[in-house]
Each structure stands twice: as structure tokens, then as C-alpha cells.
Structure 1
Amino acid sequence: MISRICFAAALALSGAMLSVPAAAQQSISLAADEAYVHPHSEITVPPSLGGLQRTRINEYAENALDLGMNFASADNGQVLSVYIFRNTNGSLPLWFAQAESVIAMHPNFDEPDVSIAPRSFALPGSDTASGLLAVFEPGAGSPMRSTGVAMFAVGDWYVKLRASSVMRTSDGLLHWMESALAELQLPAHEAVAATPIADCENELRFRGRSRDVRGDAADNVVNSLLGGLLQGLVAERQAEAGPVAWCRDSQLEIGQAVYRANESENSYLLALGDNGNAVHVAPQLRVEGISPDSENDEAFSLTLHRAAEDVMLVSQDRLPSPRRVIDLLDNNRITSSRNTWGDDRTVTVRSGELGK
């Protein structure tokens, strides 16, 4: 859901939520005493949480693929937010690390100190430490005394709880978050143990500036179609290979960070924001007898994962730097897209605006 991402500059944030253009948000209206039931995961969020009344529910991608709801006191001195978004890439530890970094770099929290280091926790009724949490103490320039984040997965859905308080200590905020988590009604699901992500041993290095892969218009169309059609096959092979150990490579701007699977030297994931949007950069797949002939056998594909679709960017002749990827996004260098939600899995050759 690209509308929650600002590619021209660092991500803009407001309060405890990523800034979203008003036109991109859809408000969900419920009676004040009506619980929200997520239609896909069956997660139920009560109308009040942690002693606070729900103030709004916003949908950031159609079909409830990415949404958030706020619970706040009248003076906004106590705020809880619950987010539910689709798992399309990466891992729980990776997206928890993104949520952490957004807090750590958020100007409203004035360079906060980590008061309760990232750690695993078990949801009520479970013996498996499948969730991750951390609590921060904001700097003197922040109105908040404490702020924190917790995340866990329910099937193919990530659930994130954000909490901020002008009066609670870090320990008090932790207990408040635990109480709020216990109020969520979760369907039966497999709990998978999670641990905080680690930094990569060494950062990736890039050999010069990458350029668009040369080819005529017809070649670009074929590569775009293949790129979209093969994404499903790639996902299946990754699932068959077993769990991936992600490490954090480097931080760009707020909400923009690079992660690598199994310390890969020729691929990475550029996370954009903290709600599941990311660009996967990897060697381009080629199909003998179908892929256009190329002088460059080391072309790289760039796939933007969004809530309901994958968007392919123009291939590069070498491993592109994250800054180069951002530049391609800024300039809408799109070649094709593939639906990843619903029955229609159409691959569309396209160019121009990314859209909402």
C-alpha cells in the first residue's frame, strides 16, 4: 500500500501512526459499543482497550488488508493503537525491527532510550514465545513519558500494538500493554517462536551505479510478464527451503532499512515504512527458450510487495544500491504488476504512476 510511503523524502510521521494522505484512507464506521472483527483473520478487537475508548478505525488498503485503530484518552495523554496487516514478505522479527526503528527515529520521541530491550513473549494461553516487544523512554523534548510496541502473528496476518503515555513509567506501560493484549480475542492459530533480529556481520557493498538493462520494448514486455508470473514460483520455492534467518544490514532514513536473508551477498529487502511494504532485489530469473537473449547474464529484478499486489520495476544490470531503488520508485519506473490477493492473479504490463 504505497500511499503510506513518501519516496521523495524521509517518511513523515504524526503521533503514533505513519502519516497517510487523507485521500488514501478509508474510515470504518462502527457503533461505539461494537467490537471490530477482522474479516480474514477473525481477530476481534473490543470497542474499548486498556481502559480507553476507540476513537477511529482507518483502512489503509482495500479489503481490510492493512488497517489501524486508535484508542485514546480525552486529552490524548494515553494512546493505544492496534494495526493488522497482511504478511506478504520478510518475517515477524523484520517488521518488528522496522516498528522499533520508527519509534527510535521519530522526532516526537526526541531520541528515546531503550528502557526494556526487545524480547520475546508468549500470548495469553500459550507456552510459545511467539511475540516480540520493546519499551522506550522518550527524551526530555517529548510530551510522552513512555512508549512501546508489541507484535505477533496470527496465520498470514501481523498484529501490532503501539502504546504511549504521559504518566506511566516504562514498567507501568509494559503491564498496560500486556493487559491490552489479553483483551484481544484471537482465533486458534499456530504459535511460532520468534526472537529479535540481529545485525548482519558485514554490510553490502555496491560496485558503481546500476543502470537499466538494455533491451527493446518487446524484451521489456516479455521480462515484465515473466517477472510477474514467476513470483508465485519463487515464493513456493522459498517456502519449501524452510525458515529464513533475516539480518539487519543498514538504515537509510526513518522507515527505510535494508535486510538480508541468510547473509545473502546478491539480494536484499528494502523495507519501506512499518506495515509490510518492501522492495525485494535479487538476480533475475531466466527461462531457457523464453527469456529474451541478453548480453548481461547478471541482471537484477526489483519487486515492490504491496498489500494486494507485487509491482515490478525496471531490471538493473548489477546489484542496485538502496538509493538507486528509491530513485526508481520516485520516478515510477514500473514495468508490470501482479495481483496477489483474491482469485484474479492477472499480470499487467504497465508504466507510470504507482497509484494508491
Structure 2
Amino acid sequence: MISRICMAAALALSGAMLVSPTAAQEAISLAEGEAYEHPHSDIAVPAMLGGLPRTDAAAYAEDQLDIGMNFESADRSQILSFYVFRNTNGALPVWFAQAESVIAMSPNYDNPERVLGPRSFALSGAEAQSGLITIFEPGPRNGMRSTGVAMFAVGEWYVKMRASSATRTSDGLLHWMEGALAELQLPDHDAVAVAPIGDCEDELRFRGRSRDVRGDAADNVVNSLLGGLLQGLVEEQQEEAGPVTWCRDSQLHLGQAVYRANESETSYLLALGDNGNAVRVSPQLHIEGINDRDNDDEAFSITLYRAAGDVSFVTQDRLPSPERVLELLNDNRVTSSRQTWGEGREVTINSDILSE
């Protein structure tokens, strides 16, 4: 394993292309009345959902790894929005918490009041409570009487539905959403029971401002690359060791929140938005003979997870605060990127950072 990873890194050192962390929205062309079938999950969505016609459909990541579509009445008094995006990190309760926080915190909803949930629910015909749902009553300036969001997983894909109505009560909205969800055609999949996320007992504390790990730039690139490549192996081992329970550590801004697995004090996930993009901060893996360092020297990897690939940032000498992580992202302090989707698994090194 190590030799293959090192070879991939060596071959990629000549590359200078820096992969952009965002992708442009692209319309999905569908004929009127044509149902949509997601090419990877086999989820089928009819052209009419909940009694509403589809008005648009779009992909927010390459190869339809993140898609969305809207169904609306002519006067826009009834709206359903449907999304499918790839599971690359975290867990369903994390991304449901993100989805509901966007409603709760958005000025557009005018300080909405939560009237139901968050609670678990079972999909039509299933026994396991594998979905999560919550409903709000927006403030008077919003114009809607009720709004809600529901989520569940189909294999390695997350499915999200948002609903808003100018006329339906919260109970009426719940029944409407349940009916719309039952209209989806879902492939056979394992339904795993889930529960809403809770707050962590204590918030993380950070000892001063983190800095780039000392050493030459090439070492920093290799360290960051190895941390990103091998983090998945660590997470698999953790899952095999026992169930992972996530908690919400803190909320930064709208769409930005910190979550921790099993209340870890040395790692966290910084969610960015509500469609799967997040930054993983964790202790860097130490591999004898490759990224040697003194046992007393701390190092923390920073990896941005996106729909089709990961981006690694400069290694830090202590657990960086979320604000510091956002600063590194804004300054584009990228060391490497790698594909996690498709036939290729290309690794690209940012050669610009080698000359710093």
C-alpha cells in the first residue's frame, strides 16, 4: 500500500494544476413529462411530484454527483425541492442538521418557529426509522405558512427534500411531504435507523493560532498528501471498532458548523453548506521512514471533501481553529488534490507551494 501511494505522489510531482474547490451549476435537460433517473443511485423522480410540475433541474457537481430539481405551482405558493448528493464524509444526522440549520438561521425565513421534530421516520413500506424530518412555521415576512426538510440515505447517496406552502398547516405539510416521498421510486437498499444529532457536552478549545509545520515545502506537501490518502483507512478502522456517534460542537455562520465523532478532542468536521462539502481536521498519520518527525512534534492534516475529490491543505503544528481553517481555504493554501470518483484516481501536486 505505502509503495503504491509513494509512487503516485512521485509521478504527480510534475503537475502544477490546482483543482478548484467549486463547480459551476449545469442545467439537466429533460423533456416535459419525462421522469428523471439518477444515473448512479437508480433513484427515479417523476415529472410531477406532490401534485406539482417540475420547473427546473440542475447538477451542482460533475457527473451528476450532486443534483437538484424544483417543483412549483404557477403562483409559487407551493414548492418542493429535491436533491441527491454523494456521501463522502460525516453521516446522515450531520447533513440533516446542516439542512435544518439553513432554514432556522436564514433571514429569508424570518426567525422561523420549529413546530415538529427533528424526529426519525420510516419510508413507505419500510420498518427502520431511516429518515429524519423537521417542520417550521416561518415568520410573517416570509410569506409561507409552513416549511420543512426531510432526509434519508440510499446506499452511498443522500436524498433531501424541502417543502414550503403558503396554505398548508404544519400537519398538512407533513402529510404532503410523506405523500411526495412515497412517489419516489427507490432501488432496494439497506435502511439503517438514524436519530437526530445532539450537541456535544463541551466545545473544543484551541491553544493559540496554528502555523504551518516547519520544514521544507516538499515535506509539507508529502505529509499533507499522505494524511489525505490514508485518512479513509483510519475512518474505516474506526467504524469497524464500533458505531460512531456525531455531535454538534459549535455553529460559526449560516451553513458553517463544527461536528465531532465520538466527542473527539483532537479532530473535527467543519461542514460548509448543506450538500456534503466539508473539511476534516485530524492528527496526521505518522508512517515510519516516510514522514518521520520527533514524537513530541504535533501535526494536523486538513482535507476538504468534495463530491468528486479531496483537496489537502498545508499541515498545521497544532489543532487549528475553524477560523484558521477557513483562512487557509480562503488563501488557497493547497498542497495536493486527488480524485475519488471515476475510473482514474489522479493525484495532483500544487507545484507553486514547492517554490514558497
- Mark yes or no: TM-score above 0.5: yes
Give 1:130's aligned residue: 130
Q: How does 1:182-331 map to 2 (within 5 A)?
A: 182-293=182-293, 297-331=297-331
Task: Provide the secondary structure at the position in 2 that maps to 1:239.
Answer: helix
Which residue number corresponds to residue 84 of structure 2? 84
Distance 2:83 2:310 in 1: 21
Question: In the alignment, is residue 108 of structure 1 matched against residue 137 of structure 2?
Answer: no
Identity %, equivalent residues:
71
Q: Deviations over 1:78-113 (max 9, x none)?
A: 100000000000000110000010000111100100
Amino acid aligned to 2:271: A
1:59 aligns with 2:59: yes
Q: In 2, are the aligned partners of 1:86 and 1:156 still within 8 Å (CA)?
A: yes
Q: What secondary structure sits across from 1:118 in the alignment?
A: strand
Alignment partners' CA distance in 1, 2:296 and 2:346: 28
In 2: Cα distance, 1:347 partner to 1:324 partner: 25
What SS does the aligned partner of 2:222 have? helix
The structure with the larger Rg is 2
The change in CA–CA distance for 1:189 and 1:182 in structure 2 (over 3 A counts) is same
Distance 2:294 2:218 in 1: 13
**Match in the other structure for 1:3:** 22
Deviations 1:187-242 (A, max 9, x none): 00000001000100001111111111111122123213323432342343233223
Whole-angstrom distance in 1 between the partners of 2:234 and 2:342: 19
Q: Which runs of 5+ in 1 are unaligned?
A: 5-23
- Aligned partner of residue 116 in structure 1, secondary structure: strand
Q: Secondary structure, in 3 states, of the residue corresponding to 1:248?
A: strand
For residues 327 and 296 of structure 1, the distance between their equivalents in structure 2, rounded to whole angstroms, comes to 26
- Could you tell me whether the CA contact under 8 Å between 1:110 and 1:141 is conserved in 2? yes
Task: Tell me by how many angstroms 1:284 deviates.
Answer: 0.7
Q: Deviations over 1:37-79 (max 9, x none)?
A: 0111100000010000000111000111001000001111110
Aligned mates of 2:235, 2:39 — CA distance in 1: 24
Secondary structure, in 3 states, of the residue corresponding to 1:252?
strand
**Is the deviation greater in 317-326 or in 233-242?**
233-242
Q: In 2, distance between residues paired with 1:36 and 1:281?
A: 37
Give ranges in structure 2 of 5+ residues lacking alignment.
1-19
What does the per-residue CA deviation read over 1:120-167, in whole Å, with 9 as the maximum and x for residues that have no partner? 000001011000000000012211111000000000000000001111
Aligned mates of 2:42, 2:124 — CA distance in 1 = 17
The two structures have a TM-score, normalised by structure 2, of 0.91
Contact kept, 8 Å, 1:333 with 1:352, in 2: the verdict is: no
Contact 2:110 2:142 in 1 (8 A): yes
Cα offset, 1:295, TM superposition: 8.1
CA RMSD of aligned residues (A): 1.6
Alignment match, 1:7: none
Q: How high is the TM-score relative to the length of structure 1?
A: 0.91
Task: Give the AA of the match of 1:59.
Answer: A
